[in-house]
Amino acid sequence: MTKLLWVVVGWTLFSWSTRLRNIVGDDSLTGGPRGFALLVAAVFLIGAIALPLVARFRPARLSTYASVAGGVTAAWWAMRLVTNLLGDGSVGFKVVHTVLAVTSIGLGLLVMRRMADATKSVRMPARPGDTTTI
């Protein structure tokens, strides 16, 4: 697994385990909103844990999995960037979450680009038995 993917795994585990800790410690967050927040955190944490497992046990699927994970990460944080900036949070909250969002979006897009480049560089035969490349 490349250094970039390890960085993504580490960043995701750091940011979403911190979010999970904040959810559990927030007594004002209850019911459906709490359940949704826990679900989102769990999805991202499980995705980060799965990345090295996919690299190890399903390497042929790594490019697809990492690209989807990068796209979901970039999309989620782009949406959260807008809602956080337009929300009524404090300036400190907005600054911290803007840094989280920009970092996560950047990593997500970088993973997608690297995986696309890696897929393009694979030499594929034009037809069975042909050794020319597309």
- In the block, which residue shows the tokens 């393009």? 120
Looking at residue 116, what is its pLDDT? 87
pLDDT in tens, 15-73: 999 999 999 999 999 999 999 999 999 999 999 999 999 999 999 999 999 999 999 99
Looking at residue 134, what is its pLDDT? 41
| Chain centroid to CA 122 | 24
Element (H, E) at 120: helix 91-120
The one-letter code for the residue type at 103 is: T
**Nearest-5° Cα angle at 114, 40 to 65:** 40
Looking at residue 107, what is its pLDDT? 97
**pTM (predicted TM-score):** 0.84
Residue 83: exposed, middle, or buried by beta-carbon count in 10 A (0-12, 13-18, 19+)? exposed
Read off the tokens for 116. 């696309």
Q: How many CB atoms lie within 10 A of CB 12?
A: 21
Read off the tokens for 60. 């042929």
